[in-house]
């Protein structure tokens, strides 16, 4: 009898142990990693390059405001709004470009942040529009003159002052952007980006050309441009959103 009771007790104990083990394993299979909440909001700032350029470039003034808004973990809506007033004294022409511009598009953050980091290494696209005017201040022409009977010629430079303004000009372009943004203090970011531009269409002045477009910069081969900026910006958090939990299998 005692042997039978002992056998039944051991059998029951085994069943309980197996059941507890199975239950414990089931719980382990469904345990998820702690939920991490990401901050979402708007970041606003200014281009330091355009402010500093006033001090090392003659006859230049400009200001550019920058902003981005986080849509998803990786995607941001981005925009730049600015104005420029720039007089360029080239080899044969002196002109002033003055106008406003707006760029809108998106950035994709390719950087995998860890812990509570919120830095960016990104690529993006922009659509740019500029409304501006060109003022042809002066231009230089060369005139051939005979200086002796041997028919020797020289080129005489003649500068013609015109002070002619061409207003109501506009331009549209596409812009490829690549850059970084790093948090240096709480919510304060420093950034750098390079830009390659392709001019889609522009309204040109009569008997002149758009050699420089506000927001687009100097035109090369009529269609291409390039630029860069250094930014300081401040992040304004609006809400937090939890990442999808990952299951441990």
**What is the C-alpha to C-alpha distance for residues 196 and 198, in angstroms, rounded to an integer?**
7
Strand pairing report for 93-109 and 224-242:
unpaired
Q: Phi and psi of 4, rounded to 5°?
A: -65, -40
**What is the C-alpha to C-alpha distance for residues 57 and 30, in angstroms, rounded to an integer?**
63
User: What confidence score (pLDDT) does residue 160 get?
Assistant: 72
Model confidence over 70-124: pLDDT tens digits? 999 999 999 999 999 999 988 788 999 999 999 999 999 999 988 778 999 999 9
Q: What angle do CA 52, 54, 58 make, to 5 degrees?
A: 135
Model confidence over 142-186: pLDDT tens digits? 765 545 555 555 556 666 777 889 999 999 999 999 999 999 999
User: By three-state DSSP, how is residue 29 classified?
Assistant: helix
User: What confidence score (pLDDT) does residue 144 get?
Assistant: 57
Q: Phi and psi of 27, rounded to 5°?
A: -65, -40
Nearest to 93 by CA among 10, 1, 211: 211
Q: What is the pTM of this model?
A: 0.78
Q: 229 pLDDT band (50/70/90 cuts)? A: very high
- Mean pLDDT of all residues belonging to the chain: 83
Tokens, residue 39: 């901050």
Q: How far is CA 30 from the centre of its chain?
A: 42
SS3 per residue for 62-102 = EEEEEEEEECCCCEEEEEEEEEEEEEEECCCEEEEEEEEEE
Model confidence over 16-50: pLDDT tens digits? 444 544 444 444 444 455 667 889 999 999 999 99
User: What confidence score (pLDDT) does residue 29 get?
Assistant: 46
**What is the C-alpha to C-alpha distance for residues 1 and 34, in angstroms, rounded to an integer?**
53
User: What confidence score (pLDDT) does residue 115 get?
Assistant: 77
């Amino acid at each position: 009898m005692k042997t039978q009771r002992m056998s039944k007790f051991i059998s029951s104990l085994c069943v309980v142990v197996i059941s507890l083990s199975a239950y414990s394993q089931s719980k382990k299979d469904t345990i998820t990693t702690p939920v991490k909440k990401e901050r979402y909001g708007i970041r606003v700032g200014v281009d330091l390059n355009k402010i500093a350029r006033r001090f090392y470039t003659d006859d230049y003034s400009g200001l550019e405001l920058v902003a981005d808004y986080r849509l998803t973990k990786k995607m941001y809506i981005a925009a730049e709004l600015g104005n420029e007033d720039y007089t360029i004294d080239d080899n044969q022409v002196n002109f002033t470009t003055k106008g406003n511009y707006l760029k809108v598009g998106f950035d994709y953050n390719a950087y995998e942040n860890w812990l509570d980091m919120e830095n960016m290494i990104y690529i993006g696209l922009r659509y740019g529009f500029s409304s501006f005017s060109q003022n042809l201040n002066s231009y230089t022409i060369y005139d051939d003159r005979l200086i002796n009977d041997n028919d020797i010629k020289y080129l005489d430079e003649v500068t013609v002052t015109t002070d002619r303004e061409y207003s109501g000009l506009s331009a549209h372009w596409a812009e490829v952007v690549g850059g970084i943004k790093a948090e240096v203090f709480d919510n304060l970011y420093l950034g750098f980006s390079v830009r390659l531009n392709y001019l889609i269409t522009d309204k040109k002045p009569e008997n002149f050309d758009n050699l420089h477009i506000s927001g687009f910069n100097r035109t090369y081969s009529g269609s291409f441009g390039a630029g860069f900026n250094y930014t300081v910006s401040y992040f304004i958090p609006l809400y937090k959103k939890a990442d999808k939990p990952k299951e441990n299998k």
